[in-house]
Amino acid sequence: MSLVFDKWELEEVKVEDMGLAKYICLDSILVPHTMGRHVKRQFAKSKVSIVERLINKVMRTERNSGKKNKAYKIVKEAFEIISRRTKENPVQILVKAVENTSPREETTRIKYGGIGYQVAVDISPQRRVDLSLGFITKGAMQAAFKNKKSIEECLANEIMLAAEYDTRSFAIQKKEEKERIARSAH
């Protein structure tokens, strides 16, 4: 049995959303770093730990581009902040935040006879998880930019707000905006 960041167990973490259960990987890992061995296979990122996927999303911004160790420390510190504030397993709170912020439908552009229009489509579970993690990290980055709060505090705050389905969360706002646009395109 291995622990995430040598502190939190993955055995007690449960995924409530059955549509996302196959795509939120909770396999036990010692260090969340697969060194990109999943990149060349289609749908293999669903076998990558959800914690590592969060680290990879934090690493995608222009300030942290390619700095895996820095992103690792940001997520580790954010998890410690979440654990201190909520007295719960931060991985469970991350999973709850991903479930709450993953949109169920979006729009796509259809061009027919020279006329383009938007059509609402369902989102695959893999894309739902990707969008959710992207919304969470983007919200944390925007909150930390030109602010006294550190990125770790902002990421922890964004994850906790998203887990509680608080509308102050950037990720919840983006999810509701995407679903509202899809509803208007029906």
- C-alpha closest to that of 19 among 92, 94, 103: 103
Instruction: Using pLDDT thresholds of 50, 70 and 90, give the confidence band for residue 25.
Output: confident
CATH 2.40.50.100 fits 44-184, yes or no: no
Structure tokens at 47: 């076998």
- For the whole model, what pTM was predicted? 0.91
CA distance 118 to 142: 29
The whole-angstrom distance between residue 55's C-alpha and the CA centroid of its chain comes to 9
Summarised one tens digit per residue, pLDDT across range 44-70 is: 888 888 999 999 899 887 777 888 899
Domain locations in the chain? 44-184
